[in-house]
Amino acid sequence: MMEDEEMNVKDIFTEMKDISELVLDLAYSSVFFDNDEIAEEVHELEERMGELNYKIKTMATLAVRTREGAEKISEILEVASASEDIANAAGDISNIIKRGFKIHPVILQALKEAEEKIAKVVIKENSNLAGLKIRESELATATGEYIISIKRGKKRIYNPDKETTLKVGDTLLVRGTEEGENLLRKICDGEINEWRN
C-alpha cells in the first residue's frame, strides 16, 4: 500500500519537475513569437502545476506515518512548491503579451541573442523523420535540437519521451542553436534524408 502511494508521489513529482524545466522556455518563446497560443499553454501548465502541488501535498500527508517519514517527505514538498513558483513566474512572463502591446525591443533583443533558440518546425510528408521514434531519430545527437513539445492536431505532448513516434504534420517546438535549427528544418522538409550515424 505504502509502496503504491510512494509510486504516485513519484509520478506527480516527476511531472512537476518536467513542467518546471520546460515552462520557462515556453514562456520566453511565447513572448519572442508574440504567440497567444503558446502563452495559453503556459497558462494551462501553470494551472496544472497548482493541481499537482495540491495532489502531492494530500498524498504526502496521507502516506506519512512517522516523524522520520515526515522529514523525508518535506524535501519533496519543498521542491514541488519551488516547481510551482517557477510555473507562476513563467506565467507572469507570458502574461505580458496578453495585453496586446508591442513587446519592448530590449526584451526581444535579449531573447534573440540567446545561444539557444526556440523554433517551430513541421514534419513534411516526404521527411524521413516520419515514423521514427525520437530515440531512433538521433535528432538531439545529430542536430543538437531538443523537442520541447509536439503539437499533433489539437493535442500537445510535452517533454516527449524517447519512445514517442514522430508523424507527418507534427509541429515540433524545439530548442537548439541556429545551425541545428537549419539542419533540422532541412530534415523536416525532406531535403536531407541521411543524418544518422
Binding site for its own copies (CB under 8 A): 6, 9-10, 13-14, 17-18, 20-21, 24, 28, 31, 71-73, 75-76, 78-79, 81-83, 85-86, 88-90, 92-93, 95-96, 101, 103-104, 106-107, 109-111, 113-116, 138, 140-146, 159, 161-162, 176-177, 179-180, 183
User: Least CB distance from residue 154 to its own copies, whole Å?
Assistant: 24
Q: Which is nearer to its own copies, 96 or 122 (CB)?
A: 96
Radius of gyration (C-alpha) of the chain in whole angstroms:
19
Q: Which is nearer to its own copies, 86 or 119 (CB)?
A: 86
Cα–Cα distance between 193 and 187 in angstroms, integer?
A: 6
Q: Which is nearer to its own copies, 13 or 130 (CB)?
A: 13
Report whether 107 contacts 135 (CB < 8 A): no
User: Least CB distance from residue 108 to its own copies, whole Å?
Assistant: 10
Cα–Cα distance between 103 and 79 in angstroms, integer?
A: 32
Going by C-alpha positions, the residue among 115, 109, 94 that lies closest to residue 181 is 115
User: Least CB distance from residue 131 to its own copies, whole Å?
Assistant: 20
Q: Which is nearer to its own copies, 99 or 155 (CB)?
A: 99
Given CA atoms 58, 61, 62, 63 in this order, what sign does their dihedral have?
Answer: positive
Helix (H) or strand (E) holding 174: strand 171-176
